[in-house]
Structure 1
Amino acid sequence: MPLIKNRYGKGRVRVMRIHRDGDRHEVSQLSIKAMLEGDFARTFTHADNSSTVSTDTIKNIVNVVARENTGLSPEDFCQVLAQRYLDTYPQISSVSITSHETKWSRLSFDGKPHPHSFVLDGNGRPTVEVAVKRGGPMTMSSGVDNFAFMKSTQSGWENYVKDRYTTIPPTNDRLCATSMVATWRWSGRPASYPATNARILATLLQVFATTYSWSVQDSLYRMGEAALAAVPEISDISMACPNMHFILMNLSAFGLDNDNQVFLPTDEPHGQIECTVARG
């Protein structure tokens, strides 16, 4: 039987880089997945390992490239890492690198950033995906996974399809929250990947927070439009937003009203809203 597709690599390679610039340190904690395609079919079909790079070696290269590039942004680091595999092993035809970052935020005291102390930031994991084929262009996207945000009003759900299966009532005042997965594809190199990523997130949040939401779909589209307008170096942005539901509690048994004040948080089952906004 033919082997029609194969690839292999190393996942969850965890590495912490510390870049020292005098007393000031920058930290970058990444979890890397490196996947290779190329002349490896005989390993699967003929028990022939003669051209196959061990997955332990793939992991070691992550650490070596990390040591040689402590100050690179995750985007630049993943590009250098992908190219290292191609430069080292001619039997590799393409490389895919995925990075998830654990965020550490710098502590400040009396308004002054501390040079080498940090606190774990639990909201969202920045992501990078790099793909490159030998002799072809390198493509890259950045994003964020599990990035949660909410607003307690200025959100509604009205004028939707109603039939005998519909039970949810319309509202023009609801709590709206989501845990977003978003990615944006780069068509040009920004002056700073970290600063530009931060600007994209700030733009998304500003649209969400400061405008009325007729639906999650409505907000996502306008958020995507704003991100593309703010950052010319990206070609499109994809967002997937599962609703974090808050169910209004019935307190009438206790002689109490509940005017959007007390809720039961739940995320199962959830609405799953997804869209991609691209340049025309």
Structure 2
Amino acid sequence: MPSLASARYGKDNVRVFKVDRDEKTGVQTVTEMTVCCLLEGEIETSYTKADNSVVVATDSIKNTIYIKAKEHPVNPPELYASYLGQHFLDTYPHISTANIDVTVHRWTRLAVDGAPHPHSFIRDGEETRNVEATISRTGGLALRSSIRKLTVLKSTGSAFHGFVRDEFTLLPETWDRILSTDVDSTWAWRAFKTLADVEKAAADKRFDDAWEAARSIIIKTFSTDESASVQNTMYKMCEQILEVVPEVDTAGFTLPNKHYFELDLSWHKGIKNTGKDAEVYVPQSGPNGLIKCEVSRDTATLAHR
């Protein structure tokens, strides 16, 4: 006899834009988000017996996302996601878990004549600030913060050699190469017991400070590390995030290696364009390397012993 192993449902791709206005200064701040909210609980009969009495309509979920954005701050996104998830547990006794994903899209304030403009902004990249929140009756509030689509490149300072060579290996070893990636960095917070604990962390700017620290670590380490491999560079980043943010239990990265290949032009008048003479490269759309890791606090501690 088949049985429902797991189920969740809700609303995805809910786009929200909020303007905060400081009436005293005239300065406005904008936040654009894409929100996904999926609910779990005693909902199996809606699947197995066509019983819609346990279903909170996804249209209602969408409306709740907007209303909570009006009623509460949307920054930091960790706090907004917690408010939203807690609402569903407080309102519907049969809902046991709310899964909230928030993607904050990057709008940067414009500078005009060297001064920040009070209400004009520019989209300066595809980078996003993300939160995955799981709010449950038994597990408290579990938050995972992340930076995604931070595209970086350096034209030197990266090598890759000493790797396994066998009958299938064509890749030459290199002591100097272009390194580029779209950074996906995630750090998991120690579980918060109550919404009040999340509110306190937000008031203390722990979420914002962690995001700023992680972003600075990524940019500085990527730029300055004499990279022996993507694997080693990303591990160094994880170690530093865990060191700087003590409330985080794990830090991890997913990094695609976006290749730029040398182009042999010797066929035309003997032009030298490989090795130390390489100047013109061919960007590759795929295939690409994909490297992942997650480092826990214990692992990072052991690495220093």
Same-fold call, TM cutoff 0.5: yes
Q: Tell me the SS of whatever aligns to 2:236.
A: helix
Q: Given the alignment of the two structures, is residue 74 of structure 1 paired with residue 84 of structure 2, yes or no? A: no
Give a deviation string over 1:108-155, Cα, whole Å, max 9, x none.
123321111100132322110000111431100110222211111011
Alignment of 1:35 with 2:35, yes or no, is: no
CA shift for structure 1 position 231: 2.1
Which one of the candidate residues 170, 173, 190 is aligned to 1:170? 173
1:145 aligns with 148
2:237 to 223, 226, 237: 223
More helix by share: 2
The residue type equivalent to 1:15 in the other structure is V
Contact 2:126 2:149 in 1 (8 A): yes
2:266 to 252, 262, 278: 252
- 1:13 matched residue in structure 2: 14
Contact 1:10 1:33 in 2 (8 A): yes
Q: In 2, Cα distance between the equivalents of 1:9 and 1:183?
A: 24
Higher strand share: 1
Per-residue deviation, 1:208: 1.4
Q: Which amino acid aligns with 2:159?
A: G
TM-score, normalising length: structure 2: 0.88
Deviations 1:242-270 (CA, angstroms, capped at 9, x unpaired): 11000101111223111231110013111
Pairs aligned (count): 280
Counterpart amino acid of residue 261 in structure 1: E
| 8 A Cα contact 1:182 1:238, kept in partner | yes
Aligned to 2:3: 2
Q: How does 1:180-195 map to 2 (within 5 A)?
A: 180-187=183-190, 189=201, 191-192=204-205, 193-195=207-209
* Correspondence for 1:201 among 210, 215, 235: 215
Corresponding residue for residue 105 of structure 1: 108
Residue 234 in structure 1 maps to residue 234 in structure 2: no
- Whether the 8 Å contact between 1:207 and 1:226 is mirrored in structure 2 is no
Distance 1:4 1:229 in 2: 39
Query: Structure 1, residues 151-206: CA drift from partner, whole Å, max 9, x if none?
Result: 11011011111111111111111001111211111238363223430221111221
Q: Partner of 1:279 in structure 2?
A: 297
1:46 & 1:37 partners in 2: Cα distance?
Answer: 17
Structure 1's consecutive aligned runs of 4 or more residues displaced over 4 angstroms after TM superposition are: none
Deviation per CA, 1:57-112, whole angstroms, max 9, x where unpaired? Answer: 00000000011124532111111000111111111011100011111001112332
TM-score by length of 1: 0.96
Task: Among all aligned residue pairs of Structure 1 and Structure 2, give the percentage whose two residues are the same amino acid.
Answer: 36
Q: Do the aligned partners of residues 146 and 72 (structure 1) sit closer, same or farther apart at CA in structure 2, a change above 3 Å counting?
A: closer
Are 1:178 and 1:241, in contact at CA under 8 Å, matched by a contact in 2? yes
What amino acid sits opposite 1:233 in the alignment?
E
Contact 2:272–2:278 (8 Å) recurs in 1? no
Between stretches 107-116 and 238-247, larger displacement belongs to 107-116
Quick one: which of 81, 89, 97 aligns to 2:92? 89
Contact 1:18/1:25 (CA < 8 Å) preserved in 2? yes
